[in-house]
Copies of this chain bind each other. A is one copy, B any other.
């Protein structure tokens, strides 16, 4: 507000980044809580502490914000997976890493409910789908790779088509996230780990 600010804490650019970040975070929370359609720009702007105009200085439209959120979301998931792939040297280590991942993700259900919103919107907006599809595909491929590696490290033959398995796991995650009867976050992580264990144990050994 002061006009003289010789050593401004925030450069103009940083300040804008902050605005963007706050808007994105506010939007994410509201979308999870009320859905994309149920959330108004007014609400988002107000929750972030800005005016509606500030929104349009940072995003060209409501859908553009959702797209940005999609990118964040996918990049978050990717980072998680890549982390698992890179750090785990052997079967035991990998399984432990997966266990840790599974128990540490209370957020997973929230993320997944957002994922459902994203998917629903992709099903309905062709334009959005165009951006959504490749990211989704890339993520699925990454997950498939991880699964193949996991079976392998456990000395088991991985299923012919890990891609389908990956798709199933994602579906399961999303589907479970929907199940938040009154209370909060269903145990998505443990369920997935338990399923994986069973599948691995049922798979034929690498001869």
CA gap between A133 and B181 in the complex, in Å? 7
Per-residue CB proximity of A152-193 to B under 8 Å, as 1/0? 000000000000100110111111101111100000000100
| 10 nearest CB pairs, A to B | A171-B175, A175-B175, A202-B202, A37-B37, A174-B175, A171-B176, A119-B178, A172-B172, A198-B202, A171-B172
Q: How many monomers of this chain does the complex have?
A: 4
Given A35-B124, A38-B124, 6 more A-B residue pairs with CB atoms under 8 Å apart are A122-B181, A129-B182, A133-B181, A171-B171, A171-B175, A173-B175
What are 27 sample pairs from A and B whose C-beta atoms fall under 8 A apart? A34-B124, A37-B37, A38-B124, A116-B120, A116-B178, A122-B181, A123-B180, A129-B181, A133-B181, A133-B182, A164-B191, A167-B176, A168-B172, A168-B176, A168-B191, A168-B195, A171-B171, A171-B175, A171-B176, A171-B178, A171-B179, A172-B172, A172-B175, A174-B178, A198-B198, A198-B199, A199-B202
CB distance from A151 to the nearest CB of B (A): 13
A201 in the interface (beta carbon within 8 A):
yes
CB distance from A15 to the nearest CB of B (A): 16
CB distance from A51 to the nearest CB of B (A): 13
List the B residue with the shortest CB-CB distance to A34. B124
CB distance from A74 to the nearest CB of B (A): 15
